[in-house]
Every structure is written in C-alpha cells, then in structure tokens.
Structure 1
C-alpha cells in the first residue's frame, strides 16, 4: 500500500513538474481531490479567472455567496487515474461546473442567478425563463431575464458576496454584459461586494462599428460603445464602474479576478457554447456582423445547424445556396420556419477581423421589396438610425466605415484606461 501511495505521489509530482516546465507557468492544485487545474495540457495555455482559484477562494470563505453563472461558468481539471503500475496511470481533461466546484470547496452558496438562455443555457433567445431550483444541488435559481433583469432587494437578502462568471463574446448586443450592468447596480445599491471572474474575449481586441447613441439604449445596447468593444468581461466591468454608467453614478465594490497567461492577441476557442445559437468558433466570429440581420427580414440560420454562419430569405435573389429553417434546440419558431431561403454560406470563409457590412449591404441591394427589409429592431442593434439611412442611400461600406472613425478614436481612449491585458 505504501508503495502504491508513493508511486501515486511521484506521478502527480512528475505531471506538475512536466507541465510547469513545458509552459513556465504555475498550476493551481485542487488539494481536495486527485486533480490539477489545467493551464497547459492539450494546448490550453490560458487560465481563466475561475481557474485562478487562489485569488478568490479566500474572499469567499465564511461568506454567504450568490452566483451569476450558466453553462459557461466552469473550471478545467486534469484528472489523474492512478494505478499501482506506473505505466498504466493516465490523465484526462475534465470540466466541472463552477457551482459544483465551489460547493466541493465548502463555499456557502445561497442562490444561482441565471441570465438569458437560463442556467443550463438551453432556452431560446428572448424566451421567458422562470425561477426554479437546480435539480443537482437544490439551490434556488433566480432568472435575470424577462421582467426581472435586475435582482430585487428581496432576492438579495442573506447574500454577503456575489460572484459573476459568464462567457461574453465581445459584442455590444450580447446580453450578458447588460446582465452584468444590472447585477453591478443591484450590488452597489445593496452594499454587496461583487467578484467578476474574467474570461477571454473570443473576438480578441477587435474594436469596430458605430457607437451607440443614448436615445437607442436598450437591453441589447446599454452603453456608448461600438458593436465590437474589444474587452474581456472583467475589463468591461471596470469600465462600467469607472465611467459611472450605473444609476445615479453609483459604483460597485468590484474585484476582477484576471485571466492568467492571456493577451487580447491570443486566439481563444470556447470549450462550450455560450448560447444555443452560437455553436462553434465560426459562428462566434461572425456573430457581430450577421446579427444585424435580426433587425431585417433575413434569417441568420436559426433553425438550422449553421446558426450565424449562413444568411438568407425567400425575398432574396435566387442563388445556388438555399436552406429551410425548421424548429430545433434554441429556435422553437425560427424566422421563415419551413420556407425555402436563398442566400450565402459563410461557414468556411476565413476568420474576419472587423465588423463586416458587405453581406448586409448585398442582401439589401438584392431584396425584392426594400421597404420591407428593415424592421424596428434594427436601430436598437445598430445603436443609431444612421446605419440604416446610409445603407438606404446607397453609401459604400468604406464610406460608412469612415463615419465611425471619430467615435472609435474617442472610445479607444476610454477603453485604454480599463485594459488588464
């Protein structure tokens, strides 16, 4: 037995030394199980805020904790499958829900607060999410979508500390940053410290698009920023606080736990879908450019297996590519349900490094009825009336992009104050 334990400890030590030497980075060790929080194996060199456990677990000790998270809040581990025979010992990469991980660490979790798409991340965009109870842990779940986007004081009773861990995709109209705003505001009003566990931005440091104008503020655009803001969610929280965008200029008692071994220039592939209709890296990269179609009569592939990688409608010029949307997970009643749509397949194009307008302009120019192309949601997504007007007037993409330059220059000066990486 002593020999087996010694062999096991040697193997753990060798793995830690080997992985640490390979990357010259430090690993976080979960001392309560035979696992090591991963930073390097299988080319996963980036360590998220949730995996930076020594920076936040001490802050949660002896606190009653609430957590805002969903399926994107997790930690990665190397699980050591030790045997008496050293050469038979194996390791595997696993993912564990942050909620489960914190409970294992004896953190006193009280409630889960879930954003759009719910705690498990399976609800349609815009679908009403009801309060409930997590079947695995028994913890109550409070929905932060629909009529209850901001936690009410009574929903925060008994909470000493709030943790926020959601994976953003770097786009203004992705509603997790709007949920962040309201959580920060509620925490500030109720004197509850907030810890934001940072995660990389899969769209890196791309800053592009028109700046949102105040009169078009909505849940898909709450702040005067461009469509692609080029910040992590932790950096964005610092900006919300620093620019005093919360109600009456109040500020949240904020702690951002940073990513390790990360820069905005690094490519980052999300290990899980951030929402039902962003299934892969291509959809996440094209999301900001194609989401404008949600404010038109053109489908972005909801109801297919290529969401935000294709676009089309029955009203566009017939082409060699077509698809027919049908109900599926995350799209119970997709746009143009059951109708043949003509358009374009972008699922295999090279990664874009800016906000692309060419597909929107192309679709508008080829639509049968231009008056029916845009709907009222478009100006909320654009954050301005100007973009629709520019397209309707026939301005080129370059001309439109030139009109963004002053606003982007001013935003970059503000953004620079809050960058961590």
Structure 2
C-alpha cells in the first residue's frame, strides 16, 4: 500500500491546515481511481496550490519543455510549474501554505528530475518553516545501485547530489538522505514526515500503474532507462518519437549489418521534435530483454565503436548525465565495461554505507 493510500497515517498532519501539493499524473489513490488532489478535497482538506514538476501536472509535456503556470480546470486550483526558470518555489508562491505534501512516482535514476524537484521543494520549505509530508512510493529500480558517483563540479538539474546513477532508494528514503546529509543550501534541514509504503522491500516487484512520464510507457522502458538514457548525450536516439521509447536505440549512421532493427521517429506525445525525425535509424530492439540488475554500458560502448570512434559521437550533455568526465574518457580510451565498472566500486561501497542510514525498507 503506497503512502498516499494511507490517509489515516497523515490526515492529522493536514486537517485544519492550508495545504500545498506537489503532484503529477502519478499521484493516485484508491487503486488509482482518483487523483490525490481530488481525493484530498473530498476529505475536506483545504488545498491552496498545486506545484507541478517536469512534464506538468497531468504529465503530458515533452522532456525539457517549458511548463507554464495555470489553473486546474477540474478544481480551479492554481498550478505553479517547478520546471523551466522557476525550479524552486518562491517565498511569494509559498505564502499562505501551512504544510506541503509531495507525492510523485520516481524511477530511481539520478538524472530523472523529480528528485531534483524534491530537493528544491524541501529547501524552499525549510527556508519558510513549512513542514513537508512525503507520501512514499516504491522504486521500480530499487533492487540495485550502480554507476559513477556524481562529482560536485558537474552538478545540474539532472544530477544534484553525490549519488550513483542508480541510487536504490524510494523517494521518501531519498528525502531523508537529502536532510541527513545536509545537502540543502546552508545545511538547512526540512521538518520532514515520510508516510511509508506497507508490505514492501527493495526487491518487491512493482509494476507502475501510471506512466511516470510520457517517454516511459511500461516496465521494460523503466528498467532499461538508466542504461539507455546515456544515449541522450550522444548522436544515438533512444527511441523518442516512437512507441518504443527507451526500449530501442539507433541512428541512421550505425551500420545495418550490426544494427538490423529499424525505426523512424515521428512527432508524438512527449516528443514533438525527436532526434532523427522522419529518418530511418538502424539499431537494436530490447523490448524482450531480461530485467537488468546492473547498468548495461556495453550497448553504449559497442555503438561508439560501430560509429567509428568519432569525436562527434558524444555531446556536452553526456557529462551531465554521467556526472563525471571520466566515463566518456574511459570509453574513448577503449576501456571495457568491466574495467569501467571496477573504477566505480569504491565509490559505490562508500555510498551504500551512507545510504544504509536512511533506508526505510529491507
């Protein structure tokens, strides 16, 4: 049972208060029959504002698309976008809010921006002395940790904390780590309450009932996402503009002998301007690939070699995704996946020891 469904565990924190909600299309209750916002209103909770992350309140905007402020047509509540220029709620936007509820489904990858939104919401609320209630949800990639640890000089909205690419925590556990490690500005701490998931461990299979974003349409895409998202920092498409997002990859310049699967990206929901729009891409179809419990870098390394090891394979975004310049350098120098992974192990061990302090589930 997800945190949002445990109303009796958090109703006392909201009753007779003016409540702000950070939510999107994944914020569902009652076996996904109701949106959290509609549910709270039906329970006579006084909602004043809704804050929306990347992709918007209803989750239909493209990755990276500017989401505008607006009004929810169903409830007439003002919606404030926390994406684009305004990533952190301003003091003005927080006026009149007694408590903030955060309920968004994460997928466990450092570059998935909902945890960055969590950071800024916690920071703004700490500065304004507003308590935060996180309604926890399972992490579908919570069964492992992997990848390079982000280096501070490569901090960005797709990587704000010194954690690996796959962090292995629920969003509630992650909130506790942000607080406990004093990662908020000036070492602030948020008055934080996490409403836990019941009957859950990090190895529990969890199929997401609602797409967490337009380009993660199913369990396979969510599992492959931490590995295939690296292609977003290269000349290769990860399937945006198809209905196989993050389940295929390819590019017109990859050799068809090695990459026999073809797809042609077109504008669609969540990708108005996909890479290689209208062009036939040669690639691989991973829709039937077995579930990963480690990052797969071999697809990336092999594509780099097949492309001819050219300088234009990587773009500047790759370092933001990796959180380090080392990964690109290692691939360009011909390191194997095993050799690269060996350089992560000390950092992963140190991170895992730190992570232990904040875990709420086995």
TM-score range, shorter chain: over 0.9
Task: Say whether residues 1:256 and 2:194 are aligned partners.
Answer: yes
Q: Secondary structure at the match of 1:59?
A: helix
Report the equivalent of 1:363.
Answer: 303
Task: Say whether residues 1:383 and 2:323 are aligned partners.
Answer: yes
1:368 positional shift: 4.1
**Which stretches in structure 1 are left out of the alignment for 5+ residues?**
1-46, 78-93
1:195 to 133, 138, 150: 133
1:76 positional shift: 2.5
Q: Following the alignment from structure 1 to structure 2, what is the Cα–Cα distance between the partners of residues 212 and 420?
A: 24
Q: Following the alignment from structure 1 to structure 2, what is the Cα–Cα distance between the partners of residues 66 and 412?
A: 33
2:312 to 364, 372, 393: 372
Report the equivalent of 2:357.
Answer: 417
2:152 to 214, 217, 233: 214
Report the equivalent of 1:61.
Answer: 15
Q: Following the alignment from structure 2 to structure 1, what is the Cα–Cα distance between the partners of residues 30 and 235?
A: 41
Task: Say whether residues 1:126 and 2:80 are aligned partners.
Answer: no
Task: Say whether residues 1:405 and 2:345 are aligned partners.
Answer: yes
Report the equivalent of 1:289.
Answer: 227
Bigger Cα displacement from structure 2, 317-326 vs 305-314: 317-326
Report the equivalent of 1:170.
Answer: 108
Q: How does 1:6-405 map to 2 (within 5 A)?
A: 47-77=1-31, 95-318=33-256, 319-368=259-308, 370-405=310-345
**Which stretches in structure 2 are left out of the alignment for 5+ residues?**
none
CA RMSD of aligned residues (A): 0.7
1:205 positional shift: 2.7
1:172-219 Cα shifts (integer Å, max 9, x gaps): 000000000000000000000000000000012310000000000000
Q: Following the alignment from structure 1 to structure 2, what is the Cα–Cα distance between the partners of residues 368 and 114?
A: 42
Does the Cα contact within 8 Å between 1:201 and 1:232 map onto a contact in 2?
A: yes
Q: Following the alignment from structure 1 to structure 2, what is the Cα–Cα distance between the partners of residues 410 and 368?
A: 36
Q: Following the alignment from structure 1 to structure 2, what is the Cα–Cα distance between the partners of residues 138 and 129?
A: 18
Query: Which of the pair has the greater relative contact order for Cα pairs under 8 Å at 6+ separation?
Result: 2
Report the equivalent of 1:41.
Answer: none
Does the Cα contact within 8 Å between 1:180 and 1:237 map onto a contact in 2?
A: yes
Does the Cα contact within 8 Å between 1:316 and 1:368 map onto a contact in 2?
A: no
Q: TM-score, normalised by structure 1?
A: 0.85
Does the Cα contact within 8 Å between 1:121 and 1:275 map onto a contact in 2?
A: yes
4+ residue stretches of structure 1 with deviation over 6 A?
none
1:139-185 Cα shifts (integer Å, max 9, x gaps): 00000000000000000000000000000000000000000000000
1:58 positional shift: 1.3
Decide which structure has the larger Cα Rg and report it.
Answer: 1
Q: Following the alignment from structure 1 to structure 2, what is the Cα–Cα distance between the partners of residues 315 and 385?
A: 25
Does the Cα contact within 8 Å between 1:204 and 1:267 map onto a contact in 2?
A: no
1:369 positional shift: 5.9
Does the Cα contact within 8 Å between 1:163 and 1:196 map onto a contact in 2?
A: yes
Q: Secondary structure at the match of 2:265?
A: coil
User: How many pairs does the alignment contain?
Assistant: 359
Q: Following the alignment from structure 1 to structure 2, what is the Cα–Cα distance between the partners of residues 322 and 368?
A: 20
1:323-369 Cα shifts (integer Å, max 9, x gaps): 11000000000001111110100011111111110100010010146
